């Protein structure tokens, strides 16, 4: 099983083995497709945040959801986790 961040997994009602990144959002360019089709991991979330991406659209086998990675990062900082 991939290293799926907990904040992303909570959005999905059904069980999953992996979440795929389908789209990314930044304030500068809006929503755009991510052609890499990568599994969403903590490492990828940090990479995207460094690239000024604030939201992602993730897909499991049965569901698709928009997830704010900026919000998760801010909450983690407030709790003193990172």
Q: What six digits make up the tokens of 38?
A: 């990568």
* Dihedral, 11, 16, 20, 22 alpha carbons, nearest 10: -50
Give the closest residue to 19 by CA, choosing from 9, 29, 10: 9
pLDDT in tens, 51-82: 999 999 999 888 899 999 987 776 566 556 55
Q: What is the pTM of this model?
A: 0.80
For residue 73, the number of C-alpha atoms closer than 13 Å in the C-beta half-sphere is 17
Q: What six digits make up the tokens of 57?
A: 């659209």
Give the closest residue to 22 by CA, choosing from 67, 73, 74: 67
């Amino acid at each position: 099983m991939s290293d799926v961040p907990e904040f992303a997994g909570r959005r999905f009602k059904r069980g999953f083995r992996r979440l795929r990144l389908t789209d990314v959002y930044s304030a500068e360019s809006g929503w755009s497709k991510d052609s890499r089709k990568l599994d969403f991991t903590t490492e990828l979330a940090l990479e995207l945040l460094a690239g000024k991406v604030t939201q992602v659209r993730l897909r499991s086998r049965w569901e698709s959801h928009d997830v704010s990675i900026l919000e998760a990062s801010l909450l983690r900082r407030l709790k003193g986790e990172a």
